[in-house]
Amino acid sequence: MNVISPRMGKSGADFDAIVVGAGFGGMYTIYKLRDELGLSVQAYENASDVGGTWFWNRYPGALSDTESFAYRYSFDKEGLKNAKWKTRYLTQPEIFGYLQDFATRYDIRRSYQFNTKVTAANFDEAAGLWRVTTDRGQQVTAKYLITGLGLLSATNTPPFKGIDKFKGDIFHTGNWPEGIDLSNKRVGVIGTGSTGVQLIIALAPVVKHLTVLQRSAQYVVPIGNWPEDEARINEYKVRYDEIWEQVKNSVVAFGFEESTVPFHSVSPAEQQQIFENIWNKGGGFRFMFETFSDIATDRDANNAAADFIKRKIAKIVKDPETAKKLMPNDLYAKRPLCAVNYYDVYNRYNVTLKDVKSDPIAEFTERGVRLESGDMSELDVVVFATGFDAVDGHYTRMNLTGREGVSIKEKWSDGPLGYLGMMEAGFPNFFMILGPNGPFTNLPPAIETQVEWFSDAIKMMEENGHATMEPKQAAANEWVETCRDIADMTLFPQAESWIFGANIPGKKNAVMFYLGGIGNYRTALQSVVNDGYSTMMFD
Ligand code: N01
């Protein structure tokens, strides 16, 4: 264990900055604040090593659906020189390996105390410092508090009736144990989001029997996970700067040019051809954003994309009843999904699909899961691929208070707020990586954007002798309104998903993202700087 002895921060605190989390965001923050700005930084991580999301999500089939060349730190040119990958998308072990290698090359681990959970973070107004408490009973102070808690890390485990009676094993994909062998087991999977879909594909050929308990059918397009050889990887390396310039000025930051062609501007035959071309190319974000410019905003375009996918399902899935169950009946307006031959899985002799929307899960018994109709699935293992209390879940579960002892839970009781996806009024010197109302994009470029922005802000504060900085309430309100206005221009609020908190019973429907694209987001951040941080208050 690496416990760092406190070194006085410049402000009289134990440290200049405390960082929570060792994923892409936390680690980059260490590099920026410790190595570039020379601040004293103490970091905490609940896990036993770096990796964040990619430490915990080790379930079979886990893979990023961003193409390999764009799922990394863009600034890490050193790592790029030796970068290698086998396929168009990186698997969990490859990403985890990259993050471990990054931590070693930049000597990141020495700033972390692992196996340590931050249980409270309270702003002490009299001292003008953050007081941070860990589950090991430590209390430390710092001028700045930076949280990289992860967008999708507070696991959602629905409290099904009778769950304690079940004699088999239960796993959540977001906390996957090492060394589990599911071959020859009868496995049930609850959930068919991005995670469930990947897991189902990986487990079907391995397990004795797979029962998929599907509440909402999803639109899943092919991922197109072709091999990539050294020559191809070298092409990316040669074009690296140009690629990242495009990524950072695009909408979804996935490394392709979003379409500028409206659906109705081309003939019906061309429309189908464009869908077919991108279906064959593969990629969930590509299918939603590279086909036409208005799939996410125009109902006709959206319906056409949905119908195209439904026709594919009907073609691929041999049993018409199963095919029908797999066809979504809502808009194509959730986080887009893609996978390798997902629908083919349902042609396998050892896979059964149950629609738990029309026949909900009634209870767990000793031997498995019973539906309301009485239908019983006998199972050895149940996997919860039931997602996360996304975006604000980790914040509202923590004892986090700002000025006047106001907790973030109270402040966000009507849904998370958040200024520029990073800050909150009344919470000085506090920066959230991927906080509420940040960009809805490929995440590493969004993370880099945010870490670079607040590192510059901290540098400016240190150079100008500011004790605190926090957003003005009016500016924060305006940002939240902007996020709501942009969301309302799209079809996304009309589909029920975690993006608006719909997956957690009792969670208020709220806008949690800036859907204006990473390019516009970066412009908005730059304009705050150009305006002399006029939306901020300083002490
Ligand atoms: O979680 P989800 P996820 N009874 O919330 C179902 C990223 N990610 O972990 O749709 C029965 O999307 C729920 O049903 P419904 C990516 O951003 C990326 O899959 O609410 N079912 C749904 O089917 C993604 O969007 C990658 O009706 C219940 C599922 O559980 C995000 O993580 C890979 C239930 C949850 O789906 C989250 O994905 C993996 C209940 N009580 C994840 N409660 C890639 O890059 C929930 N469900 C590829």
Is a pLDDT exceeding 60 seen at residue 156? yes
Alpha-helical (H) ranges within 65-157 are 77-81, 92-105
Report CA-CA distances (Å) from 209 to 185, 262, 316: 7, 44, 21
Phi-psi region of 85 (alpha: psi -120 to 50; beta: other; left: phi over 0): beta
Q: Is 281 helix (H, G, I), strand (E, B) or coil?
A: helix
Mean pLDDT of the 326-339 span: 97
Q: Is the pLDDT of residue 448 over 70?
A: yes
In this structure, the number of other CB atoms found within 10 A of the CB of residue 313 comes to: 21
pLDDT over 70 (residue 204): yes
What percent of the chain shows pLDDT beyond 70? 98
CA of 277 to the centre of ligand 1 (A): 27
pLDDT at 5 over 70: no
Show the tokens assigned to 499: 């993006």
Ligand 1: residues within 6 Å at CB?
A: 63-65, 152, 158, 190-196, 198, 215-216, 335, 356, 361, 385-387, 498, 503
Is 293 a residue whose pLDDT tops 50?
A: yes
Is residue 254 exposed (0-12), middle (13-18) or buried (19+ Cβ within 10 Å)?
buried
Q: Give the mean pLDDT of 360-377.
A: 98
Which residue's CA is the closest to the ligand 1 atom numbered 45?
Answer: 64
Out of 95, 338, 386, give the residue to mutate to test ligand 1, the one with the largest number of ligand atoms within 8 Å of its CB: 386
Q: How confident is the model at residue 7 (pLDDT cuts 50, 70, 90)?
A: low
Residue 238's CB: how many other CB atoms inside 10 A? 10
**Separation of CA 267 and ligand 1 centre (Å):** 35
d(CA 521, CA 539): 27
User: Could you give the CA distance from residue 109 to residue 45 in angstroms, rounded to a whole number?
Assistant: 10
pLDDT per residue as tens digits for the range 403-446: 999 999 999 998 899 999 999 999 999 999 999 999 999 999 99
* Nearby residues of 299 by Cβ (< 8 Å), 6 or more positions away: 331, 491
Mean pLDDT of 343-368: 98
| Residue with CA at minimum distance from ligand 1 atom 46 | 386
**Residues 203-224, mean pLDDT to the nearest whole number:** 98
Q: Is the pLDDT of residue 136 over 60?
A: yes
**Residue of 368, 388, 410 whose CA lies nearest to 162:** 368
Distance in Å, CA 503 to ligand 1 centroid: 8
Rounded average pLDDT over 153-161: 94
Reply yes or no on whether the pLDDT at 508 is more than 90: no
Q: In terms of Cα–Cα distance, which of 402, 407, 451, 427 is closest to 536?
A: 427
| Whole-number pLDDT of residue 2 | 41
User: d(Cα 13, Cα 143) in Å, to the nearest integer?
Assistant: 6
Site of tokens 């087991």? 185
Residue 112 Cα to ligand 1 middle (Å): 30
Res 1 pLDDT > 50: no
Could you tell me the distance, in angstroms and rounded to a whole number, from the CA of residue 192 to the centre of ligand 1? 6
Looking from the CA of residue 502, the nearest atom of ligand 1 is 20
Residue nearest (by alpha carbon) to ligand 1 atom 1:
387
> How large is the ipTM?
0.99
Would you give the DSSP letter of residue 31?
I
Entry pTM: 0.97
- Residue 5 near residue 111 (C-beta atoms within 8 A): no
Provide the mean pLDDT of the chain: 96
Give the H or E element holding residue 91.
Answer: strand 89-91
**d(CA 460, ligand 1 centre) in Å:** 40
Mean pLDDT of 454-470: 97
List the structure tokens of 502.
């719909």
Q: Is residue 85's pLDDT more than 50?
A: yes
Closest CA to ligand 1's atom 41: 158
Rounded Cα–Cα distance for residues 418 and 333 (Å): 24
Beta bridge partners of 384: 172, 190
Q: Using the predicted structure, report yes or no on whether residue 4 has a pLDDT greater than 50.
A: no
Q: Residue 81's pLDDT band (boundaries 50, 70, 90)?
A: confident
Sign of the Cα pseudo-torsion (310, 314, 315, 316, in order):
positive
What pLDDT score was predicted for residue 8?
64
Condensed to tens digits (0 to 9), the pLDDT of residues 14-48 reads: 999 999 999 999 999 999 999 999 999 999 999 99
CA distance 64 to 109: 24
The mean pLDDT value for 229-251 works out to: 96
SS3 362: strand
Is 258 a residue whose pLDDT tops 50? yes
Compute the distance from residue 216 Cα to the ligand 1 centre, in Å.
10
